[in-house]
Structure 1
Amino acid sequence: MGFEPPQRLVRALGEVHGDPAAADWLARLPALTTEALSANGPELTVERVAAPGGRSSLVLLVRRSDGTPAALKIAPSGAAPELESAALAHWNGWGAVQLMGSDGGALLLERLHPEVSLRSLPEAKALLEAAGTVRRLWVEPPAGHSFETVEERTGRRTEPMRAAAKADPMLEPLVSAALAAREELVAHSPEVLLLHGNFRQSKVLAGERAPWLTVGPEPLVGERAYDLARLVRDRVEDLIASPGGAATARRRVNKLADSLDVDRERLHGWTLFRAVESGTRALAVGRRQEGELTLEFAGWL
Structure 2
Amino acid sequence: MTNANNRLEPPERLVRTLSCEPPDGPARRWLAALPETAQECLRRWELTLERVQEPGGRTSMVLLVRLPDGTPAALKLCPPDGTAALEHAALTRWDGRYAVRPLRVDPEAGALLLERLHGDISLRSLAEPKAQLEAAAVLQRLWVPAGDGHPFRSVAEHTAALAATLREHREQPWAADARTVVDEALELRDALAADATEEPALLHGEFHQGNVLAGDRAPWLAVGPRPLTGERAYDLAWLVRDRVDTLLAAPGAGAAARRRVSKLSDSLDVPVERVRGWALFRAVSSGVTELAAGRRGRGELLLEFAGLL
Unmatched segments (≥5 aa) in structure 1:
none
Aligned residue pairs, count: 299
Instruction: Give 2:49's match in structure 1, choosing from 41, 46, 50.
Output: 46
Higher alpha-carbon deviation: 99-108 or 230-239: 99-108
Instruction: Give 4+ residue runs of structure 1 displaced > 3 Å after superposition.
Output: none
Alpha-carbon separation, structure 2, partners of 1:275 and 1:79: 25
Q: 1:19: how far off? A: 5.6
Instruction: Give 1:181's match in structure 2, choosing from 172, 185, 188.
Output: 188
Alpha-carbon separation, structure 1, partners of 2:168 and 2:22: 16
Write out aligned runs for 1:188-199 (5 A). 188-189=195-196, 190-199=198-207
Unmatched segments (≥5 aa) in structure 2:
none
Residue 245 (structure 2) aligns with: 237
Alpha-carbon separation, structure 2, partners of 1:18 and 1:163: 23
SS at match of 1:77: coil
- Give me the TM-score of the superposition, normalised by structure 2: 0.94
Are 1:147 and 1:219, in contact at CA under 8 Å, matched by a contact in 2?
yes
After superposition, give the CA deviation of every residue in 1:75-125 in whole Å (9 maximum; x if it has no partner).
Answer: 112361100011111110111100011122111101001111111110000
Q: 1:178: how far off? A: 0.5
Residue 222 (structure 2) aligns with: 214
CA RMSD of aligned residues (A): 1.2
Residue 208 (structure 2) aligns with: 200
> Which amino acid letter does the alignment assign opposite residue 175 of structure 1?
V
- Give me the TM-score of the superposition, normalised by structure 1: 0.96
Residue 169 (structure 2) aligns with: 164
Residue 111 (structure 2) aligns with: 106
Are 1:112 and 1:206, in contact at CA under 8 Å, matched by a contact in 2?
yes
Alpha-carbon separation, structure 2, partners of 1:76 and 1:238: 31
Are 2:240 and 2:257, in contact at CA under 8 Å, matched by a contact in 1?
yes
> Which amino acid letter does the alignment assign opposite residue 75 of structure 1?
C
> Which amino acid letter does the alignment assign opposite residue 77 of structure 2?
I
Residue 145 (structure 1) aligns with: 150
Question: Percent of counterpart pairs with the same letter?
Answer: 56
Q: 1:18: how far off? A: 4.0
Residue 277 (structure 2) aligns with: 269
Alpha-carbon separation, structure 2, partners of 1:149 and 1:203: 21
Alpha-carbon separation, structure 1, partners of 2:218 and 2:194: 38
Are 2:22 and 2:28, in contact at CA under 8 Å, matched by a contact in 1?
no
Instruction: Give 2:76's match in structure 1, choosing from 58, 73, 90.
Output: 73
Are 1:39 and 1:103, in contact at CA under 8 Å, matched by a contact in 2?
no
Q: 1:74: how far off? A: 1.0
Q: Decide whether aligned partners of structure 1 residues 289 and 79 sit closer, same or farther in structure 2, where only a CA change above 3 A counts.
A: farther
The answer on 1:8 being equivalent to 2:13 is: yes
